[in-house]
Amino acid sequence: MMAYIIRRVLYAIPILIGVNLITFTLFFFVNSPDDMAFMHLGAKRVTAEAALKWKQERGYDKPLVYNGSKEGIESLTETIFFEKSVKLFVFDFGQSDDGRDIGYDISQRMWPSLAIALPALLVGLLVNITLAMLLAFFRATYIDISGVVLGVTMMSISSLFYIIGGQYLMSKLWHLVPISGYDTGFDAFKFLLLPVIIGVIGGIGSGTRWYRTIFLEEINKDYVRTSRAKGLSELKVLFKHVLKNAMIPILTGVVVVIPLLFIGSLVTEAFFGIPGLGSYTIDAINHQDFSIVRAMVFLGSVLYILGLILTDISYTLVDPRIRLE
Amino acid sequence: MMNITPVFLWTDILIFVLVVAITIFVVYTIRHEHLRSPWKKVFQRRLGMAAFLVLMCYVSIGLLDSIHYKKGNDAEIISLFDDLVGGLRTRVEKTYSAPFATHLFSKEMIQRADGSKARAYPRLKYGGAHLQEPDKEKWGDILQRTIEALVVGLLCWLILTSIMVLWLARRKQQSWQAMCVRLWHGQESLPWKVIFITLGLLIMWWLLVIKLSPHYHILGTDKVGEDVLYQSFKSIRTGLVIGTLTTLFMLPFAISLGIMAGYFRGWVDDVIQYLYTTLSSIPGVLLIAAAVLMLQVYMSNHPDQFGDVISRADARLLFLCMILGVTSWTSLCRLLRGEAMKISQVEYIQAANAFGVRHLRVVTRHILPNVMHIVLITVVLDFSGLVLAEAVLSYVGVGVDPTTNSWGNMINSARLEMAREPMVWWSLIAAFSFMFMLVLAANLFADAVRDAFDPRIQRK
């Protein structure tokens, strides 16, 4: 088990190197640091000195990958690639364009993101599985069919509609919760309620449909027929056998996103003014702060790979047949 | 006679390449029974058929909107669709006005007939301009036009339906009465009743628009006074382009790499697996954001390469499709790799290899046709997700160009007016409902396609 995990972590290294190379190419070869300086300082009117100063302040004045003016190892370390990309591997994200420490900002902002994303995931999971079980129980009746049609309809509605509609109804019309904002501690509850509810409602359509397919696939298997034949009630069959066996496909989808919950949702956080990583990224996009976007891309991939490893481990926990060697 | 110079935007060209490709595909399918039978099943489903007709309605507007030209010495590029709707484009008010309004949404200083000045809601330039006393006459006028539209629509529908019934009866060599009975009881293979009802609804809807839109702004006007209905129509093309061209960019990568990985195994498989694992480990939105940001920098530093505003917006739309394609080919590639791996173990492939058939031929003759259903299902399933993604991306600020008409941009600009009292809701509702109808139709059609093509479902 341990050996497997170590091997998986080692496998992650070439992938992260690849991610790093992609972002480096994207951010420094497609547009040179000069381009970025001109862009930030306002296109044509800017002087060469001002551009150089802008680059110096942010450490973009070095050569991209090889510094010919330095000797030995410094010819590689005194470059943009080493300063900006290699350091990501030790989670040294450097400074944003307005001089703040990105690593500190991230460590502060991931908790509000998690505070929304985690309850939304858990409640959503509970609601979706319950509804899907219900549809599976009433399979091939009018309840099932109308449930599926309703699911497709809910899937076809833009997530923005749920957010805007929810804000309009709950905050503007009924004055139940504040329209946006965030607070620390228990006061955060009233701010988190609406985004979580909307997150759950927005996911019901696709989630329920997906779990229903999984349950129906299990229901047609032989062991279900056996358990019915030995006289178990349909409810017992569903909860004791089908649900347990459906855990594997369900886990595949769920565990992989758990680490990504830290990143949060860009749109939800922006609409509700939650100071999480999602709104951090949106602000960075709007201010064209490339160091933050670069850091988030790297962080996102690390978390995704972590999710994949966790998925594998969780398999061994729910399915004793699977052994990781 | 005005001289017309056609203008070919990049997306236009690709759209028509796609249309040609689909036409070839359709002709090829019709000529081969084994390809035709699953499609028959798609169209035999009532929901599938209705969704298809609605989709066709969207597609025809999108296609009309993809034929661009310049008229005379006018520098403005317009599309055939702009030309057909005529006044809808040019009837621009001053600022916001509600659906069916006759007065502007905000008060202004106006001069009364007797010379005194007062703050009041001024009359619209076009909306309800034919009315003498809008307060009294408006709803009567709307009702009258609605009834006219419905009556004409009913007539059109009756004529169309009877022509189709007569044609069917002739083809099946039956009397038209017998045909009607058969259709009523659903004894034909195609769900004709659904077809007629859907067509009827579509015709009614169109006639309402045709009758009412010259005299009113059916869905109101936006901040700069542009008709919201016109904007919603124009956004159809953007939605369709993103839903289809993305696939066009994604398919070559996904198919060739996926099959290669599954068929050749060994180091080819390792390299391709590494490639798609790396790409898919970057969260999609972030990769798109990074790429579009870089494009923005490039465009603002090289404005000379992109010509006028329309070509610039078009280049951005095209690039957005490309980058969406790059982020979405990995899942299809993974599926195809697995399937190709399974198929290449089958006896007839081994036999072909033993006979010394070249790899390229084995792949194109034996493997590709056997994985096409996966490709097709993925394409139709992805479409609706991409249309929805456009709105979200535009909101985040990495979507289409702000000057492009798109539902995302409409929602984005209307969102800023949420705080206004009373609320400006019509742009939001218009964008959401146009998008909803397209996505719903696409989802239902995709379901029908999946059920007909997925061999696992057929077995049950």
pLDDT in tens, B391-420: 888 888 888 888 888 998 988 888 777 777
CA distance A281 to B288: 12
Give the burial class of B44: count Cβ atoms within 10 A of its Cβ; 0-12 exposed, 13-18 middle, 19 or more buried. middle
pLDDT > 90 fraction of chain B, expressed in percent and rounded = 26
Q: What DSSP assignment string belongs to A207-244?
A: HHHHHHHHHHHHHTSHHHHHHHHTT--HHHIIIIIIHH
- Contact (CB, 8 A) for B408 and B397: no
pLDDT beyond 70 at B292: yes
**Torsion angle, CA of A259/A262/A266/A267, rounded to 10 degrees?**
90
Longest dimension (CA), chain B: 99
Phi-psi bin for B61: left (phi > 0), alpha (psi -120 to 50), beta? alpha
Q: What is the mean pLDDT of residues A55-71?
A: 71
The encoded tokens of residue B57 equal: 């309605």
Ranges B173-177, B241-245, B420-424: which has the least confidence: B420-424
CB-based contact B289 A22, cutoff 8 Å = no
Smallest Cβ–Cβ distance between B290 and the set A26, A159, A167 belongs to A26
pLDDT of residue A112: 87
The percent helix, strand, coil of chain B (3-state, each to 5) is: 70, 5, 25
pLDDT of residue B156: 93
> Rg of chain B's alpha carbons, rounded to an integer?
26
Please give the residue of chain A at the shortest CA–CA distance from B422. Answer: A172
pLDDT digits (tens, 9 = 90+) for B357-378: 898 999 888 899 888 888 988 8
Please give the residue of chain A at the shortest CA–CA distance from B388. Answer: A158
Q: What is the mean pLDDT of residues B186-192?
A: 81
What's the mean pLDDT when you consider all of chain A?
83
pLDDT beyond 50 at A91: yes
Q: Which of B172-181, B183-192, B230-239, B306-315 has the highest mean pLDDT?
A: B230-239
pLDDT beyond 60 at A219: yes
The encoded tokens of residue A166 equal: 């929810």
CB-based contact B291 A26, cutoff 8 Å = yes
Residue B220 CA from chain centroid, whole number: 22
pLDDT of residue A55: 74
Least Cα separation, residue A261 to chain B (angstroms): 12
CB-based contact A300 B286, cutoff 8 Å = yes
Q: What is the mean pLDDT of residues B85-91?
A: 79
Q: What is the mean pLDDT of residues A23-49?
A: 74
pLDDT beyond 80 at B109: no
Nearest to A279 by CA among A172, A188, A181: A181
Give the burial class of A218: count Cβ atoms within 10 A of its Cβ; 0-12 exposed, 13-18 middle, 19 or more buried. buried
Element (H, E) at B5: strand B4-7
Least Cα separation, residue A19 to chain B (angstroms): 6
Q: What DSSP assignment string belongs to B149-176?
A: HHHHHHHHHHHHHHHHHHHHHHHHT--H
Ranges A83-92, B61-70, B267-276, B343-352: which has the least confidence: A83-92
Residue A317 CA from chain centroid, whole number: 24
Residue A292 exposure: Cα atoms within 13 Å on the Cβ side: 27
Distances (CA, A) of A277 to A22, A102, A111, B399, B416: 22, 11, 9, 20, 23
pLDDT digits (tens, 9 = 90+) for B124-168: 777 777 777 777 778 888 888 899 989 999 999 999 999 988 898
Chain A interface disruption, residue of B282, B323, B420, most A CBs within 10 A: B282
Instruction: Please report which confidence band the pLDDT of residue A128 belongs to, taking 50, 70 and 90 as the band edges.
Output: very high
pLDDT beyond 60 at B231: yes
Q: What is the mean pLDDT of residues B271-291?
A: 87
| Bridge-based pairing state of the strands B68-71 and B77-79 | antiparallel
Chain A interface disruption, residue of B274, B276, B285, most A CBs within 10 A: B285
pLDDT beyond 50 at B189: yes
pLDDT beyond 60 at B459: no
Q: Both ends of chain B: CA-CA distance in Å?
A: 63
pLDDT > 70 fraction of chain A, expressed in percent and rounded = 94
Q: What is the mean pLDDT of residues B55-79?
A: 86
pLDDT of residue B210: 86
Q: Considering only residues B10 and A51, tell me which one the structure prediction assigns the higher pLDDT.
A: B10
DSSP code, position B221 = B
CA distance B397 to A286: 7
Q: Which residue has the tokens 């800023």?
A: B416
CA distance B282 to A299: 9
CA distance A11 to A13: 5
The encoded tokens of residue A234 equal: 């349909």
Instruction: Please report which confidence band the pLDDT of residue A255 belongs to, taking 50, 70 and 90 as the band edges.
Output: confident
Ranges A40-54, B226-240, B317-331: which has the least confidence: A40-54
Please give the residue of chain A at the shortest CA–CA distance from B390. Answer: A158
- Contact (CB, 8 A) for A296 and A229: no
CA distance B276 to B279: 5
Q: Which residue has the tokens 């045709």?
A: B210
Q: What is the mean pLDDT of residues B295-322?
A: 83
DSSP code, position A88 = G
Least Cα separation, residue A215 to chain B (angstroms): 14
pLDDT beyond 60 at A33: yes
CA distance B63 to A304: 40
**A59 CB near a chain B CB, below 8 Å?**
no
Q: What is the mean pLDDT of residues B427-438?
A: 92
Q: What is the mean pLDDT of residues A299-316?
A: 87
In three-state secondary structure terms, B93 is: coil
- Contact (CB, 8 A) for A247 and A239: no
pLDDT beyond 90 at A264: no
Nearest to A238 by CA among A260, A259, A221, A255: A221
**A220 CB near a chain B CB, below 8 Å?**
yes
CA distance A106 to A113: 10
pLDDT of residue B36: 87
- Contact (CB, 8 A) for A276 and A112: yes
Q: What is the mean pLDDT of residues A198-213?
A: 91
Instruction: Please report which confidence band the pLDDT of residue A291 belongs to, taking 50, 70 and 90 as the band edges.
Output: confident
Task: Evaluate the CA torsion angle B416, B418, B423, B426 in order and state its sign.
Answer: positive
Q: What is the mean pLDDT of residues A103-111?
A: 87
H helix runs in A96-229, sequence order: 102-137, 142-155, 159-166, 188-219, 222-229
What's the mean pLDDT when you consider all of chain B?
86
Q: Could you count the other beta carbons within 10 Å of the beta carbon of residue B78?
A: 17
**Residues forming a β-bridge with B110:** B118
pLDDT > 70 fraction of chain B, expressed in percent and rounded = 97
Task: Evaluate the CA torsion angle B58, B60, B66, B71 in order and state its sign.
Answer: negative
Instruction: Please report which confidence band the pLDDT of residue B460 belongs to, taking 50, 70 and 90 as the band edges.
Output: very low
ipTM of the prediction: 0.85
CA distance B62 to B325: 21
pLDDT beyond 60 at B458: no
pLDDT digits (tens, 9 = 90+) for A237-252: 888 888 888 888 888 7
Q: What is the mean pLDDT of residues A196-213?
A: 90
pLDDT beyond 90 at A88: no
**Residues forming a β-bridge with B221:** B97, B227
Please give the residue of chain B at the shortest CA–CA distance from A24. Answer: B290
Instruction: Please report which confidence band the pLDDT of residue A124 belongs to, taking 50, 70 and 90 as the band edges.
Output: very high
